[in-house]
Amino acid sequence: MAANAADLAEETKAAARAAADAAVKLTAEAQKSFAEAARKFESVVQEGVEQMRAQSRTYADNAGEHIDEAQRYVTERVRERPLAATGAAIGVGVLIGLLLAAGRRN
């Protein structure tokens, strides 16, 4: 019976070592997988950021062109009809003033 107990203890120790070795291997594989996934994620995020930068440059250039066009249009209209432009500016100013005054009363 003592021999059986000693054999059982040895088998248990061997099984524990095998389980520990398997756990170490699984941990190493998991670390490799996580590192690879992190590299892929970083690459995808970096590509996305680069695409957003390129698109934002395009949009900014486009918006700048539209603003320049609008500025030229307004300048031309003011030069064509300075009194009408002045009257429109005064009217917009009065309207904004009335809206702000109404907001203060409430």
* Residue 66 pLDDT: 94
Structural contact between residues 59 and 51, judged by C-beta atoms closer than 8 angstroms: no
Q: Where are the domains of the chain?
A: 2-81
Q: How far apart are CA 55 and CA 13, in angstroms?
A: 62
**What tens-digit pLDDT sequence spans the chain (106 residues)?**
556 777 788 888 888 898 888 999 999 999 999 999 999 999 999 999 999 999 999 999 999 999 999 999 989 989 999 999 999 999 999 999 999 998 777 6
* Residue 94 pLDDT: 96
H/E element holding 11? helix 2-80
In our burial notation (b when 16+ CB lie closer than 10 A, e otherwise), range 79-102 reads: eeeeeeeeeeeeeeeeeeeeeeee
In sequence order, what DSSP letters do the residues of 40-96 get, joined into one string?
HHHHHHHHHHHHHHHHHHHHHHHHHHHHHHHHHHHHHHHHH-HHHHHHHHHHHHHHH
